[in-house]
Chains A and B, each alone.
Chain A
Amino acid sequence: MTAGVRLAGIVKTYAGARALDGVDLDAAAGETLAILGPSGCGKTTLLRTVAGLDHPDTGSVHIDGRDVTTRPPGERNVAMVFQNHALLPHLSVAENIAFGLRARGRRRPDDVDRRVAEAAALAGCDHLLDRRPAHLSGGERQRVALARAVARRPAVLLLDEPLASLDAHLRSRVRLDLRQVFDGLGVTVLHVTHDQAEAQALGHRVAVVAAGRVHQVGTPDDVYDRPADRFVAGFLGIPPMNLFEVLDGDPPRAGPFCLVGPAVPGGRRLDAGIRPEAIRLGGAGEGTPGRVQAVDPTGADAIVTVEAAGCRVVALVPRHGRPVVGEEVRVVARPGAFHLFDRDTGAAWAHPGPP
């Protein structure tokens, strides 16, 4: 059974500060919506509001068309997985998974066992049923927490940074498994994370949240290629987008680069952003001269920080053939690769076309 989730006008105040400031959010039935944002942006509060663990000051929560704003958590058919797996240490894995089923008190033993086996198989922990949580690794515990959540066949699955306490290697492996579980169940998933790679890998759509407000909701490509405002532009992308003030002139300048292409409207204060991967190190006579300040090889690429024309520019170049610190280079921006943002409101003004 799947259900859509709809949040409308949610406001939640904690000790005088607005944790959620008028949030409207929709997740279609069966969709995985990744809720992405920095720490303290209110995304956990959002999740708890959907679960019914916190009540909003104003606003409504609908699950599958039903208004559940005033319903207790137990009546919403929602399940949750926490970063801290919250398994009961005195019960075995099988008993932990069955806990939610038994809490309702109306299950026959063989029915419970079957459900537990199904959920454990789905989450990949069916070989651990007799163990105690203390004897499991971090990844195994999260699988058990997941099995516990899906055993009840909830309408909505809520995950609160479930992979945050796993090491990077394990995280990417478990991420793949999660994707399979979500697709297999067809359940509506709200997945809260501060890890943008995770959000883009797991979410059909991504909601970018900061300071209790939703900045943008869109597919991973939408939020990356066409960010709605300066915050989203700066948050998505590693390394972050370069942002420069647009200086009037003929042609207008942004940092060490000249802006050519569609007319930049005059009389408006703008910022221009360009992603590091759209900047290359050119040959003699090209672009703007600069000096390399730092070089960070990461995987197949290298992050090169260059000081050019008094501005700090970050470029992403292939790892092999990367420059060394102190080298004189020339930075070249791909034509038409600039995003334009209104300097005062931060809202996006123009986006580059596809490369």
Chain B
Amino acid sequence: MVGPFVVGALALVVVPAAVTLALALFDHDLVRSPRWVGLGNFAALLDDDVFRISLRNSMAFAAIAVPLRLGGALALALLLHHRRRGYGAYRAAALLPTVVPDVAYGLVWLWLLNPLHGPINLVLAAVGAPTPSWLTEPAAAQAAVVVMSLFTVGEGFLILLAARAAIPGEVYDLGRLDGAGAWPLFRRVTLPYVAPTLALLAARDTIFAFQASFVPALVVTDGGPPPFSTTYLPVFVYRNAFEYLRYGYAAAATVVMLGVTVLMLVAQAGILRRHRLLWG
């Protein structure tokens, strides 16, 4: 019964992972035969400025985007929890950006962020706000990639919606009888109930953040504007592997990416354990 799953997991996950780990120790360009360099790739990574910039960009993106995404998903879930007119349409709207294919999503944003003709800058200009040159200024470009990630919160939204629905309604009735306002109810009732779900989503989103930045950076900003302001780790790996044909080097970067992700997850677990957000 689990045969096909095991075969798939092996062929699509385990084997490529093992190959990548092995590849990290070689220098390979698909033309000449692989040459053993041991840890030489990793040493070269340490010296590589572009790698350091990529790492910094990725971590900054994760640190900023993950809390914003979770907050957005939670806000949406709480707002769309109660049955109201048209709430079905609003829920669908919240999910839509997530189910749109990544590249199509990126291309839509390419148009939206156009400094002269894109709707975003047109609206900003109409209300007298500054109109940054989204794709040609480094800081604005990084902000743009973060903003793009804020709308694809569909999965977190669905999961938090379920978590909120699992809270018995009588708890809120009792809160209202006690005269508790909306904010105390949120902080002392809703938040503790959804905290374990939020923690799980935070871990998942952190992993996701390291990879989610790939398509927008490739399609919309192309890793620029110079120098490398939106070059994230996945972009770095992609370029080194498929454009510069340095497969071993790219594989080593991938291994570092894995290590950094694990470190961030461990740090999260430590913080949460200390804060007793998980009860029991």
Contact = CB atoms under 8 A, between A and B. Distances in A.
B176 A53 contact: yes
12 contacts: A48-B173, A52-B177, A53-B173, A74-B177, A74-B178, A76-B177, A80-B173, A82-B170, A82-B173, A100-B178, A104-B178, A104-B179
Interface in A177-199: none
Given A88-B189, A104-B179, A80 B280 contact: no
B178 A103 contact: yes
Nearest to A74: B179
B5 interface: no
Contacts of B279: 89-90, 132
Interface string A41-81: 00000001001110000000000000000001111101110
A52 B176 CA distance: 9
B170 A51 contact: no
A99 interface: yes
B192 A88 contact: yes
Contact of B175 (A48, A84, A103, A132): A103
Interface in A95-134: 99-100, 103-105, 132, 134
B85 to A, nearest CB: 14
A79 B177 contact: yes
A20 to B, nearest CB: 18
B260 to A, nearest CB: 32
B38 interface: no
Interface residues of B, number: 18
B184 interface: yes
Given A84-B168, A134-B280, A103 B179 contact: yes
10 closest A-B pairs by beta carbon, nearest first, are A74-B179, A86-B170, A90-B279, A100-B178, A103-B178, A103-B180, A90-B192, A82-B170, A73-B176, A73-B177
A12 interface: no
Contacts of B180: 74, 103
Nearest to B180: A103
A152 interface: yes
A75 B279 CA distance: 32
A105 B178 CA distance: 11
Nearest to B192: A90
Contacts of A90: 192-193, 279
A78 B179 contact: no
A75 B193 CA distance: 26
A254 to B, nearest CB: 47
A99 B180 CA distance: 10
Contact of A74 (B171, B176, B192, B193): B176
B174 interface: yes
A78 B177 contact: yes
Contacts of A79: 177
A24 to B, nearest CB: 24
Nearest to B184: A103
A72 B174 contact: no
Interface in B134-188: 168, 170-171, 173-180, 184, 188
Given A86-B173, A88-B192, A103-B178, 19 more contacts: A53-B176, A73-B173, A73-B176, A74-B176, A74-B177, A78-B177, A80-B174, A82-B174, A84-B168, A86-B168, A86-B170, A86-B171, A86-B174, A90-B193, A100-B174, A104-B179, A132-B280, A134-B280, A148-B174
Contacts of A48: 173
Interface string A131-167: 0101000000000000010001000000000000000
Contacts of B173: 48, 51, 53, 73, 80, 82, 86
A14 B179 CA distance: 26
A88 B180 CA distance: 15
